[in-house]
Structure formats: structure tokens, C-alpha cells
Structure 1
């Protein structure tokens, strides 16, 4: 099994730039800080494994709403709010 890789911030910036170039995305189309904040909120409020799944859900919801940066921000806000209120049954 391979060790998980930890990326320094500048490597994440390079990865985001590569994704933007590969898929012809504008900087506002790929809001790194917004998505990292979402992952943090979900990891804390729900569970760590829920973070990537929730980021995917945010993208799906935003895309279905029209796909604008505002649609992305709204989807992220809704999911973050849900995570902050999440109470898992014991």
C-alpha cells in the first residue's frame, strides 16, 4: 500500500492550474478555497469520508442549477449549513 501524499499549498495551486487548463476553466469556475472550506466543514460536522462525497454533490447541484460561480457558492453554502446542523444517530 502506498503512503498518502501531502501537498504543499503551491502544489495544490499547480494542480488547480492544470485542471483549469485541461478543462478550459476560469479561475472562478474552480474555487479552491471554497471547496477546501466545504471539505473542512463536512469533515468536522459529519465525518472525514463525507468530505469528498459532499464536494462531488456540491458540483452536481451547482451544475444542475446552471453551473455559475454563484450556483457553486450557493450549493456549498447549503451543504456546509447542513453539515453544521448534522446530528448522527448513535
Structure 2
């Protein structure tokens, strides 16, 4: 077993702002259960995740089933073309 994968819709919650995104997340089976990571790309190409995430104290990801998980943004992995950003989950993987 290599990894558990989530590739679907989600919503970034940054402060009082919510932005629909496509989430591509992984949780390695070989790592502790609280290790998960991936990328987020905004559904709307005009949305700037970088500025939103940089200026927010709490970052969360809401899944279609209503569950939420917090994350940190990896500022070294921002894609200026697609608007995607790499994230590292904090706490148990919600998928």
C-alpha cells in the first residue's frame, strides 16, 4: 500500500473568506496517521490563494461531507501559472 488519496472538491477557509478549490491530497500509509499533504488549486483562476493564505491566522479545509482540517501553506511551492499552492496538514487526515 502506497498512500490514501483524496482528489476532489474542497473549500479553503481563511478567516471569514471561503474559496472553492480542487484538492489533491495524500496520506502515506507508512507515516504516522497525522501526516498528510498535497496541493490546492482555486476553482476560479482569478482567486489568489497566496495573498489570502498569507494574511490569515487560521487556515482550514472543508470537505463535501462537512468535515474540516487545518493546514499550513508551503510558501516554497507556489505555482504562479495555475495558482496552486502546496499544503501540509495539521492533525489527523480528514479523508
TM-score between both structures, scaled by the size of structure 1: 0.27
Q: Which has the larger helix fraction?
A: 1
Taking CA–CA contacts closer than 8 Å with sequence separation of 6 or more, which of the two structures ends up with the larger relative contact order? 2
Q: Which has the larger radius of gyration?
A: 1
* TM, length-normalised to structure 2: 0.26
Higher strand share: 2
